């Protein structure tokens, strides 16, 4: 496609790098330098020597890239790309939540604004949430905004209470226990994999729970041939593509067809080209909260 070549040329001319989340339209991978989940992309953003970062994702991801790279220009190709979960909490709600549980360390999921991050102790992603909570060495932890990821972490720990804010991912909550039951009947030989943003009753019923990257890694390493994927459709599309390219001989089934994050689908190749060409839709973070918000991500990246 001509537009792919044009974007690649612009990247070279402007010393730009394109980061793409796994939930993005799959054709964006053709121009992306790095494709992965939030933790992987955070690490890649921290190591790039590019002058411009184009983040094919949603607003909080681009904000996080800016926090890690204060001297770089960070562009979000489509300004509509928000996150319903991140919008469920703001600084006022967070302070009210913390006031009920004073002197308890606060973990914020990366699916949150910079303003919220600035009021927390450390950030996490679904890939490292368990490790981050463990690293605090506390018998009580506040976790926000996703109650389901927080309670999944609690289920994996002994003698740690994870007190969660009542936020959630509308896309993952579409997956219900009845969907798992139906998938077992329809695909009796398949392994069922789910994201920890799913309802905890769903997580109890599946064969493996993990982040986007952990689900994809599981599939690559597994000797099984059939998989039901209980997370966003973009993951299934990439697995189907990779299986075909690499001759894995594996089959992938989306748990049901409406597991699509509309916010993640806003970005297009045309948006990326326009944004890079005009260096527009730049994402910035207010100076008064920048350092505090940045520290939460730096602390996360320091946890091994």
Low-confidence stretches of the chain (pLDDT beneath 50): none
Please choose, from the candidates 112, 181, 178, the residue with its C-alpha nearest in 3D space to the C-alpha of residue 149.
Answer: 112
**What is the pLDDT at residue 266?**
95
pLDDT of residue 147: 98
Nearest to 225 by CA among 207, 250, 247: 250
What distance in Å separates the CA atoms of residue 131 and residue 101, rounded to the nearest whole number? 22
Could you write out the DSSP letters of every residue in 200-246? HHHHHHSSEE--HHHHHHHHHH---SEEEEES-HHHHHHHHHHHHHH
pLDDT for residue 39: 79
Q: What is the pLDDT of residues 123-143, one digit of tens each?
A: 999 999 999 999 999 999 999
Rounded to an integer, what distance in angstroms lies between the CA atom of residue 227 and that of residue 250?
8
Nearest to 61 by CA among 52, 74, 47, 51: 74
Find tokens 């890239």 and name the residue.
65
Please tell me the pTM assigned to this model.
0.94
Q: What integer pLDDT is reported at residue 45 of this predicted model?
A: 87
215 CB-near residues (< 8 Å, 6+ apart): 193, 195, 208, 229, 231, 235
pLDDT at 233: 97
Tokens at 291, concatenated = 């350092």
> What domains, with CATH codes, occur in the chain?
2-82+265-302 (3.40.50.10800), 86-164 (3.40.50.10800), 172-260 (3.40.50.10800)
Read off the tokens for 256. Answer: 């049901």
Query: Starting at the edge strand that comes first in sequence, how are the strands of the sheet with 16-21 ordered?
Result: 34-36, 16-21, 52-56, 73-75
Place of tokens 């411009």: 52
Contact 228, 191 (CB under 8 A): yes
How high is the pLDDT of residue 124? 97
DSSP result, the chain: -HHHHHHHHHHHHHTEEEEEETTS-GGGGGT-SEEE-HHHHHHHHHH---SEEEEES-HHHHHHHHHH-TTSEEE-S-TT---TTGGG--HHHHHHHHHHSTT--EEEESSS-HHHHTTSSEEE-TTTHHHHHHHT--SEEEEESBHHHHHHHHHTSSS-EEEE-SB--TTGGG--HHHHHHHHHH-TT-EEEE-TTS-HHHHHHSSEE--HHHHHHHHHH---SEEEEES-HHHHHHHHHHHHHHT---EEEESSTT---GGGG---HHHHHHHHHHT-SB----HHHHHHHHHHHHHHHH--
């Amino acid at each position: 496609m001509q537009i792919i070549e044009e974007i690649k040329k612009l990247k070279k001319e402007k010393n730009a790098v394109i980061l793409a989340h796994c939930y993005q339209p799959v054709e964006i991978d053709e121009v992306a330098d790095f494709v992965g989940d939030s933790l992987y992309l955070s690490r890649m953003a921290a190591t790039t020597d590019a002058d411009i970062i184009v983040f094919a994702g949603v607003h909080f991801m681009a904000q996080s890239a800016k926090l890690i790279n204060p001297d770089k220009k960070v562009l979000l190709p489509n300004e509509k790309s928000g996150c319903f979960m991140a919008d469920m909490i703001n600084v006022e709600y967070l302070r009210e939540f913390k006031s009920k549980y004073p002197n308890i360390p606060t973990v914020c999921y990366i699916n949150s604004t910079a303003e919220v991050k600035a009021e927390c102790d450390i950030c996490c992603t679904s890939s490292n949430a368990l490790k981050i909570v463990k690293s605090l060495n506390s018998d009580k932890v506040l976790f926000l905004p996703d109650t389901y990821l927080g309670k999944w972490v609690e289920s994996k720990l002994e003698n740690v209470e994870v007190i969660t804010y009542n936020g959630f991912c509308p896309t993952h909550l579409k997956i219900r226990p009845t969907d798992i039951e139906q998938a077992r009947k329809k695909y009796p030989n398949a392994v069922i994999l789910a994201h920890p943003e799913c309802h905890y009753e769903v997580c109890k019923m599946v064969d493996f729970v993990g982040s986007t990257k952990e689900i994809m890694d599981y599939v690559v390493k597994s000797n099984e041939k059939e998989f039901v994927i209980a997370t966003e459709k973009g993951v299934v599309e990439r697995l189907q593509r990779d299986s075909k390219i690499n001759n894995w001989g594996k089959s992938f089934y989306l748990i049901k067809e409406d597991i699509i994050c509309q916010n993640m689908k806003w970005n297009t190749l045309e948006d990326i080209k326009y944004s890079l060409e005009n260096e527009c839709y730049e994402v910035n973070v207010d100076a008064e909260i920048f350092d505090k918000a940045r520290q939460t991500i730096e602390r996360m990246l320091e946890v091994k």
